[in-house]
Amino acid sequence: MKKTVFITGASSGIGLATALYFYSQGWNVIASMRNPGQRKTLLHEKGLPDLVHLDVTDGSSIKAALRYAVDKYQKVDVLVNNAGYAVYGPFEASTPEQVKKQYETNVFGLMEMTRAVLPLFRAQQDGLIINVTSMGGRLGFPLYSIYNSTKWAVEGFSEALQYELRSHNIRVKTIEPGVIKTDFYDRSLDRSVGTVENDPYAEILRRAQKSLGEGGMASGSEPSVVAKAIFRATTDGSRRLRYPVGSDAKLVNFLRFILPSQWLFAILEKFTLG
C-alpha cells in the first residue's frame, strides 16, 4: 500500500521540490498551499493530482485539508511542516505587525498543523512529523533576528515534543537547510518597514547588501538537495532528530562545536557582512 505525505508550503522552493521527489518515489502526495490555483497547471503537468488549499494561520483550512487527505487515502504517514518565510532587517525597524505575522506562520501555524494531525497519528499508532527549520535555528545571523527566533522556537518545540509522542510511535525530526537557491531571498523575504530616527543601521545594511551582491547569502544548494534529505529522514527508520542540509549548514554546526563563541561570531560576521 502506498504511503501518504502531507506537505505545507508546496507551491515553490523546498516544498515544491519535496512534493515532486516523493511523488517520483511512488508516494501519495498532498501538496498544500495558500493559492493552489496559481500552481495547478505546473503541478498537474508533473503528475501531482492532489493540490489542496491550506493557510497554516487558518484553522478551518487546516481541518479541511487534512479531512481531504484522510477521506481520499485513509491514512497520512508523514507531515512535512515546510510553510514559512523570513522577516529581514534590523529588529528596531520592524513593526509589531511584522513580528506577529512571522510568528503566526513560522511557529503558531506549524504548531496548529501538528496539533491537528496528532489525533490521527495516535489513532494509527504511527506517524512522522518533519519540521523544516534552518541552520538559522541553531545559530543567529545578522539582520535575521526575528526569523532566527522563530526557527529556534521550532527547534526547541521539536526537541521537547519527541519525548511526549514516543509512546504513541510518533517520531519528530527537523531538517536544517543552509542557504538554498529558492525565492526565499526574493518573494519569501519580508523586509523591515518601520522607521528609526537618523537611520543608525545604514552601515550594517550596506555591508549586508554588498555581501549579498557578491553572492554570499544568495548562493547555495538546490532545493532538490533538501527534498532528498527529507525523503532520507522519512525512510531511514531512525529516531535521529536533526538533519543539517548543505555544506554550509554542516560547517556551521561543526564550527559551533569546536570553536569558542567569540571566534565563531567573528567568522560569521565576516562571511555575512564582509
Q: Which residues are known catalytic residues?
A: 147
CA atoms within 13 A on the CB side of 240: 14
Start-to-end CA span in the chain (Å) = 53
Length of the chain: 274
**DSSP code, position 195:** -
Asked if 186 contacts 15 with a C-beta cutoff of 8 angstroms, the reply is no
H or E stretch covering 4:
strand 4-7
Contacts for 157 with CB less than 8 Å, ≥ 6 apart: 107, 110, 111, 131
Grid coordinates standing for 256? 559551533
Quickly tell me which residue has 547555495 as its cell. 220
Using alpha carbons only, what angle is made at residue 269 by residues 266 and 270, rounded to the nearest 5 degrees? 85
The three-state secondary structure class of 199 is: coil
